[in-house]
Every structure is written in structure tokens, then in C-alpha cells.
Structure 1
């Protein structure tokens, strides 16, 4: 099974991009399929599960057997009736469980989900395997099914949403120019920038020129320039430090609402805010190990802080500082989970706070995108860039191998049939022959 997954180039499709054939070189007690779709406004998992529930169940059983796991659990939000019905029908009479999650954020966070399904807590600096678990995104599991049939990863399901006229979900060849996608949804409404990914953890792009669909792209959201969300995603570091010094009142709401802190991982953003604002790291009081457990979900920034400060950004700054200084996390769960169930943030409240509820619309599947040219990045995964095995002028078929990993990585295949027109250190361009 691992050989077929490697040959197909499967990586974590939910955003991490970790090579799946490496992740599955393990033994585990519980295999969890994450179909929760953590970020609001995205509908990719919904389409994949509703369309391919039998395939996902079949692949889950294969993976469960390979891992030697006692349980296979598919996690989905309980309000997504179409997904729940499709999975119940596909799993009937099979050794697969369903976990139905309330609509809270960040329910799809890997460690959050493990705690909800098993009651276990992944320690700071640890991996799911430390508590006997392996977790894969629903799209990844479907790609594993395809790999077992001998079909490589060539396409990605993406939601085109936000401030567009007709939000849709499409399947696009990897390497499709992102600039071509908004028009498929009727184009943006007003003067917009784009978020590649979800609204909270995705990155802002002023322009889509040079941006392509990758194996981990899940969404493309048009966001009006005046939206409050963008102000919370942006910000100069020195300005943030000055603002924290001026207005942070140490109310500790950022820490109180942190889901990782509630799991006992001692994540305390208010102390990092205090230390960086004062320029005195001693004010953290030696409580630095929990910083490694921050997953950058953004609850502290987008919801908890009433002053519009950016604790999550400060956490990442401090984490980078520790990394550069050679610090390493100590594996620990500092204390027993405290108040976890009472600190789960309803997604509707989060969308309302960010003034995004008007974009929380259905995004029906609109078919497969056809594109005459793709630029396929050589790095879409954890590890280094792949080594091209084709040159300019090579004729390729869809699914043909075009790049190999050197060390940790994943194979890359042509996503359309055509001729290779460019090979650079960053991408391989293929043009369809007309």
C-alpha cells in the first residue's frame, strides 16, 4: 500500500502537505478521518464526502488494517446532513465509526479532534502517534483510494467564495493559474483582495499573478479591501508591539479562550504579549514551553481580544525567536484539561464577529476546470523541492511522472496532457496542444 501511495504522490491535502507514505509508516490504535472542514466558508470536504463516501469508507478500512488500528473514525460536523447521511449509508455494517462534531472552531484542528474522539491529549512537541493516533484529511483519504487504483494525484477540489457573485466548488488541475478562477464564480463584487485558503489561517494575496493551484490549496476567497478581517491579518510587527504596550490590559481573554490551553498545554498568549510589549522576556515567568503548542488558529486575534490586537502573531514571532536560539520543545501535558467543552467557539459567532456571515453561502460543485496551461510547483509538500524528470519540449500525458523527490517529499505528475514548455527551479509549465 505504501508503494502505491508514494507512486501516486499523495500528501496531506488539508494544508500540511506531509507525504502520506511517510505518515503511514507506523502502527496506531486509532485512525481518524478529518472531514470536519475546520475553516469557515470552505465546502471542499463537503463535496468530496457527499460524492465519494463509499470510497472514503473503503480506503479508511484499508488504512486501518495497514496501521493495525482498533478503530477507524470519520469525523464530520453534525449539521452537514448530506455528509452525515452519505457516510452512514456507506459505513453501514462496516467497522467504521462516525464522530459528529458541533459546529465550533477550530473543531478540525488535529489535536483538538484527537482529544474529542479519544479523550487523549497530544503533548507539547509531540505527534498524534504519541497517543496512538493517525489523522488524515478526507481529501487525502480519497486520494489514497485513487492511488490504490493506480491513479496519481493530478487535481484538487477548491472552493471559490467570499465576495463573489456565485460561490462554487470546482475540481482544478494542479498548476491551474489562480487568477483564472474568480471569473468562474461570476467575478469579485467590488474592490477585493484574495485569501488563499480559509479566512483565518489562509494567506492574503494582493494579486493572483504567479499563483497556482497546489496539492494543498483548499479555497480562494475574495475579500473586500475594507473588511475588518484583513486588518486583523495584516500588521507591522513594531506597530503591534507599540499597540500592545499602549492598550493590552492583560485581561487574559486570549489565554482563557485558547483551545490548546484548555487541553492542558499551557498556551498563554497574554504572557507573550506582556513580555514582547515590555521588551523583557523574563515577564513570561519561565512559561515558554507551551508556546510550541500554539497552532495559530487565531481565536485569540480574531475573537478573544477586544482591542483588536494580534496575540497569535506575537506567539509566532516568539516561537521563531526560540527556534533561532536553538530551543526545543519538552514533551509534556502540563495539567489536566480544564473547561474544554465550555470554551468551544460556535462558528456562527466567529463569523458574526468578523462580519463574514454574509459569505457563509452554499458553494455547489460546478465540475472540472479546463485550462490550456498549468505551472506545477516543484514544492507542494513538506521537504525540499522535487527534481524534474522532464525537459522543455517533452510531450506528456495526464498522470505522467514529471518530478521526483530527493529525500523527504512526494512525486509530482502532469495534470494535463500537452507539451512541457518551461522547467525552472520553482515549477514545470505544461501547455495543452490544440
Structure 2
């Protein structure tokens, strides 16, 4: 198998609209939560979220073009543009043959949900005449972001979308990783985007009792593993990674953030939205990722946990982590405490965090964890307070989704002499 490295990163997040700003706020332990501004949430049980701020679509599109794209696609283009610029690829010099070796695998859990919601509202508020926007379908479908990125840069390689709810981005990254290491492309743009802070999304997640209702103190609401957690806080944005075959990256003198060492996917096969107490599917995904990377669990320095701040899900994951790592003192962080839960884009921004973490040795802290749940396994080393600096060669990133999907990626500190 060919080796695969990360040569470009891009981010649109509640903590900043660039990777540099995002990473600095993660290290500082800032929260991106605040009152919902995208619609009138005054009658909703949950009235706050982690929104992207100061996003200017005109930086990326002509004004007349913006109406063609749902916000989740706009975020995807913005993040992928940053990642491609960061990679140092000379896009203008590419031949058609080279463009055929570059593909896009992009993820979203909800796609153009705001477009779907808006079009139905307009229809039912009208006189019954079926008047729909001609861009309705292409704005809404989940695969369109992958298509738009490809069209924008004339990338002719493999192009599709992955959907596995909140595991979608990690699924995309694993798929892109596999595509390169099997020799089916030299470069892949991958990641995920979500723009689901809408009435139907917040209302739907609220009806399923998944969202926090801590409206009085939004910045403290996302509190993974804490005894007082009461649900996740919705987030939005995008994360993009440029993956590249190692020898191709070296030949053009590209900077390398990290290497992707392995990926594992599995299923809980348990419940529509819940997770089993023992975290069976999570454990299987982590074990498969370790096997794929060819390493033992004691090689992992830190785990970026899925840890959405739901009562059942957090404990399930901790039980799975303990079953995989045993007495190995792996550090655990839960960065959704700062970003909120970006749903289908969560794995993408958390992969950026993981890549930078293994590159710098900095493990971000879990904020808002004041009183560990008494039912949590004993002896786990959850990073709280401030970020810590440590020596680590491997970082693991977990994501899980409604439907029982689990996807785990492993990032390795790059060394040209690595096996």
C-alpha cells in the first residue's frame, strides 16, 4: 500500500474561518456557543448553537452565483479553497492527465437542509401553485458539494459523497485515504460541511431529546463527560484536508502536516439513535483502525473522543476506550466542548485538530468538565484545564453517527524513515 500524507488544511468553524484562527482558539480553550441568530428561536426549547460568524460568501463566489449554492456547499468551497492554497499545488499549471489523478470525496449528514426547509415553506405559504427554484434539487442533494469542488478546479478523479450521519467526515477521509493508497488517485480533497442550524434541524434534534437546554449559559452547555451534561450543542461549518501520496508530495517539495496511518469502520447494530452501554461498535472501529495502522493500542498518545455531551453516548464511548486501551495512559480530549457538534462535518474539523495535535505535540483540553460522571470508568486521563504538550507519535480520532455508524482515524507524526 502507498503511504498517504496531509499537505493542506482548511476550516470554516464557530471558532474561526481559517485554520490558524481555529487552532489558536482550540488551544486557548474558547467556546463558540451563543444565541441562535439564523432564525427566531424564541419559542424553541433550545435557543443557542455554535454558529459560524462573519462568513462572506462573496470572497468565494460572484454575487449572482451565490444563489445556486446552499450554505453547506458554500462552506465546503471556502474550506477546500483554503486547503488547496495551503497545499501549495500550482492548480493553473496542471495538465488534464494530472487533474485526472485528483479527486474529491466530501461528506455531509444533512446536505442542503436549509434549502429544503425554505422551499417547502414557500410552497405551503403560497396559493398551491407548484413554483420551485430551479436550483432546488442541486442545492439540496448531499453529493453536490463534492461536485462543485470538482467543477471549480476541474478535478477529474474519483468524486462522490459519504453519508453516515455524524461519522460522515471520517468515513470520507478513510475512503479518500484508501483511494490513494490503492493507487486510484494521487491527491484527494476530502472533509465535510454542515449548515444545519435551521428550524427543522434544531426542532427535530430537540424533539429527540438530544440537545442541551442550558439557554442561560450557552458557553458552558457542551460539557462532555460531566455529571451535569444534558445533550449536545449544534454547530456548523466545514473542514477540508488535502491528502497526497507520499512520493508525489515529496517530489514537489510539499510541506507535510502528518501521515494517515489507518482507519476503521464498524456498526453498533443496536438502536436508531442510541449506543450500547459497552460501546461495542466504537470498540470494533477503534480496533480495526489499530489493525489497519499495524500498531498496538499503547502506541496511541491521545484520543479525540466523539463525546457529544449526551448522557448515554459519552459513557458508552468511555467504556469502549477503556476496553481498547486498558491500563495504557492514553490522553483523552473532547473538543466538541469548544466547537459544539458539527454533525456530518465533525470528523473533518476534528481531523484537522488531530493532525495539528500530532504535528505539534499539543493536546487540547476538554472545557466545561467540572465534575466527572460518577459512572465513568476509573483511571482515564481526560485532559482538562489547559492544553498540554506531550510527545506522541499517534493520535486517534473517533466519530459515531445515528444508525450505529462508527468511524475511527489514526494520524501519525510524519517521519520519512517511518515504516
Normalising to structure 2: TM-score of the pair? Answer: 0.31
State the structure with more CA Rg: 1
Normalising to structure 1: TM-score of the pair? Answer: 0.30
* Larger RCO (CA under 8 A, 6+ residues apart): 2
